[in-house]
Amino acid sequence: MAGPAPLSGIKVLDLTKLAPGPFCTMILADLGADVIKIEEPGPPTGRRAQQAGVANAQGPGAGFSGSPFNALNRNKKSIGLNLKSQPGKEIYLRLAMRADVVVEEYRPGVAERLGIGYEKLAARNQKLIYCAITGFGQTGPYRNYVGHDLNYIATAGVLSLLGRPGQPPTIPHNLIADYAGGGFHGAIGVLAALVARQQTGRGQYVDISMMDGSMALLAQAFSTFFSNGNLPKRGETPLDGAIPNYNTYLTSDGKYITIGAIEPWFFANLCRAMGREDFIPYEFDSSKRAEIFAFFTEKFKTKTRDQWYEILTQSDICAGKMLTLDEVPNDPQVKARDMIVELDAPGGQKVKQVGISVKLSETPGSIRSLAPTLGQHTDEILTGLGYVPEDIAKWREEGSIR
């Protein structure tokens, strides 16, 4: 029988809006943390409206905080709080007194100017873990520069490696800096700080830079460069398209099959499956690459992607179908791992979301609720803090809360 969720009882205040922060707190919420989203009351205006519009352009329902389709805000509660108002600030400070974790993604110095920064909160709650996710971090000459994923991966060196030879670099959506560099590293930092707090009894400041996180993904690439001094070029290394046995190929149905037969025994299996055992001795012979490439390119056009996948996987060859987003939910491995889940929304509709990637045998995470509407839990949260209905009604009328 499964035990309680691993982060059960951990209270998190979420001041974030776009990509890295909400993804970080989604991970914590999926693992059982009690996450409260602090949201500005009223409809989006100015920069906030523009941010919502940009997010919404990524897909249906993606740009609205309370949309049941928005997986990033699942398992969270929402309170509408104007942090520039005196009541809003007072309520936030009271929440922070009882919190274990705060996650924010303001530009450096903004939280301090609002009077809600780490030093002020830590003076009242020494066990508080305060995670700030920014583009370049809290220190250094770029700390105040604005940016987005593309800018951070460019500075980190990641972008220089993405793409084909002689072509402009490939822009990899906003997956690397936002989600891996910022969101995942933010969650790791919070979890590490929670473990450290068990040892020291104190919280700490977690400074997450999306650029730093992106650089960390290049740890092996940098190690190789530092050891031999050879600067890798786009599309000219074994892992980014330079060799025929680690590449993508168009099939007869206009789809793509991916090949990752790097090890000699996998390459040998691939050559046998393609009817060219004579290629086996030449895996590392650069003079034969063009010939092997040309043969593979034409050979893969003779069958469909799925036909090739069946042949290659049955021959112990590293192969994969390049699936589009509409195909992924029907993949048998995705189904077996519960990586697409269907949930019931309050309105009765069925909502599909990506499932929980961290599989724990004894204390698994869960999706307990869909994204809340703005201020859905304001009364519940304020009542729990000891505020009376008269004050709540007054502050709502003033616009300090929603």
Structural domain includes residue 23: yes
Structural domain includes residue 264: yes
Which has the closest alpha carbon to 175: 183, 167, 186? 183
3-state secondary structure 156-217: HCCHHHCCCCCCCCCCCCCHHHHHHHHHHHHHHHHHHHHHHHHHHCCCCEEEEEHHHHHHHC
Structural domain includes residue 241: no
Is residue 169 within 8 A of residue 159, CB to CB? The reply is yes
Structural domain includes residue 259: yes
Q: What is the pLDDT of residue 62?
A: 38
The number of domains in the chain is 2
Question: Tokens 């070029």 sit at which residue?
Answer: 233
102-119 confidence digits (pLDDT tens): 999 999 999 999 999 999
133-179 confidence digits (pLDDT tens): 999 999 999 999 999 999 999 999 999 999 999 999 999 999 999 99
> 172 with 269, same domain?
no
> 345 with 300, same domain?
no
17-30 confidence digits (pLDDT tens): 999 999 999 999 99
DSSP track, 166-178 = TSPPP--TTIIII
> 280 with 203, same domain?
no
How many Cβ atoms are within 10 Å of 94's Cβ, its own excluded? 15
Q: Give, as one character, the DSSP assignment of residue 58.
A: T
Strands 101-104 and 246-250: unpaired
Q: What is the pLDDT of residue 46?
A: 53
CATH of the domain at 268: 3.30.1540.10
> 261 with 212, same domain?
no
Question: The domain containing residue 281 runs over which residues?
Answer: 246-321
26-85 confidence digits (pLDDT tens): 999 999 999 999 999 976 555 555 555 544 444 433 345 778 999 999 999 999 999 999
Which has the closest alpha carbon to 296: 270, 319, 315? 270
Active site residues: 148, 178
Q: Give, as one character, the DSSP assignment of residue 141.
A: T
CA dihedral angle for residue 208, residue 209, residue 212, residue 213, rounded to 10 degrees: 60
